[in-house]
Amino acid sequence: MAAFLRVLALAFLAVLAGSGVGGQKKKEMVLSEKVNQLMEWASKRSVIRLNGDKFRRLIKAPPRNYSVIVMFTALQPHRQCVVCKQADEEYQILANSWRYSSAFTNRIFFAMVDFDEGSDVFQMLNMNSAPTFINFPPKGKPKKGDTYELQVRGFAAEQLARWVADRTDVNIRVIRPPNYAGPLMLGLLLAVIGGLVYLRRSNLDFLYNKTGWAFAALCFVLAMTSGQMWNHIRGPPYAHKNPHTGQVSYIHGSSQAQFVAETHIVLLFNAGVTLGMVLLHEAATSDLEVMKRKIMCMAGIGLVVFFFSWLLSIFRSKYHGYPYSFLMS
């Protein structure tokens, strides 16, 4: 009897071992099919378009030994999501840089879910805004850091690449397609300047005009102090539209980020303060009539007070808890 039980136990263990090996082989087959499918799609298009079924099968369902960066967006014209289109252009640059690099492997894929093609995915993830970038790691669920901070970092391809490297250890060298607009505009500007100098070659006194050089320097300073360089580096959206209320925000609520429209507003306010200071200086030093100098003085004070109070109001809205205000809260 004991010998019979021993044989029965061994047979049972053999069956379990066989089923375990069979299950492992099945997982490997499923994983191989998923990877091959993704590689085939990636060879045709750097950013793989997913609907609800593909998302659940290739990303949510195990097994998976690859990371997937997914952009959740709304690109259809009737959605009127300008930021989505801008972010998509940068995302395509990043995906193409990875797809056509010598380091390309099946460790990571780039995908996209459009709201009109996968609204069920948005509902599944309780997502109510676009665009949103999420990294789905090979194992486990996405953590807090796997959701890209778009409002803070902007959607420039270089910023996305740094985030991808941080979450997946895959370094992508962003290669942008050649843009000839900048060199052409510079060439045109130099041609215009050269033409003007040539036409006035007999009288070049305008090159020594202090007012002209001062105005050019002032324009450059205003552009730099308003945050134009930050925009060039980070690539933030022009503004933000609340998907629930439809309200458009032109001022970012955080001190760590800004919108393009915000830099234009700040530039305008700084220019207003500068104009007020120029009027005050002219009122104090010019030889005009007393009444005109008084008008210039009052106008200068009004410009400085009005635009400086607006600047301080913007500063308070971004640096929460700042205790000081002037005219406007």
Is the pLDDT assigned to residue 186 strictly greater than 80?
A: yes
**Cβ of 304: how many Cβ atoms within 10 Å?**
18
- 10 Å CB burial of residue 315 (0-12, 13-18, 19+) is middle
Mean pLDDT for 245-255 is: 78
Give the pLDDT band of residue 95 (cuts 50, 70, 90).
very high
Is the pLDDT assigned to residue 37 strictly greater than 70?
A: yes
Closest CA to 251 of 218, 219, 227: 227
Give the pLDDT band of residue 317 (cuts 50, 70, 90).
confident
Task: Report the predicted TM-score, pTM, of the whole model to 2 decimal places.
Answer: 0.60
- Tell me the per-residue pLDDT of 213-231, one tens digit each, with 9 for 90 and over: 888 888 888 888 888 877 7
Residue 17: predicted pLDDT: 47
Return the structure tokens found at 226: 């308003």
User: In this structure, which amino acid lies at residue 140?
Assistant: G
CATH classification code of 22-168: 3.40.30.10
Mean pLDDT for 151-178 is: 87
Give the pLDDT band of residue 111 (cuts 50, 70, 90).
very high
